[in-house]
Amino acid sequence: MADKIHCAHILVEKLSVAQELKTKIAKGESFANLAKEYSIDTSKKRGGDLGFFGRGVMVQEFERAAFVLQKGQVSDIVKTQFGYHIIKRLD
């Protein structure tokens, strides 16, 4: 199991927007471009890139979803206290 993983995410306030973005990603639209356009997080400037992080850094729901992803895989929608995330594992 990796000590640290490299992920990007898109964070939005509404489930309906997250569902719309999940569909666009499934159709092949650029994750990074969608993050830049829609994400409400400061990582949007970097296409959602969160860099490398280990366990215990992110909120529990986010961490659980992120650490089971394979490289290049995109998560289902993850609800946290911050909103709705779509996570992509980059490393």
Q: In this model, does residue 18 exceed pLDDT 60?
A: yes
Chain mean pLDDT for the chain: 97
**pLDDT-derived band at 1, boundaries 50, 70, 90:** low
Of the candidates 61, 48, 60, 41, the residue with the CA atom closest to the CA atom of residue 6 = 48
* Secondary structure element (H or E) that encloses residue 76, with its range: none
The CATH architecture that domain 4-89 belongs to is Roll (3.10)
Q: How far apart are the first and last CA of the chain?
A: 13
Q: Where are the domains of the chain?
A: 4-89
pTM of the predicted model, to two decimals?
0.96
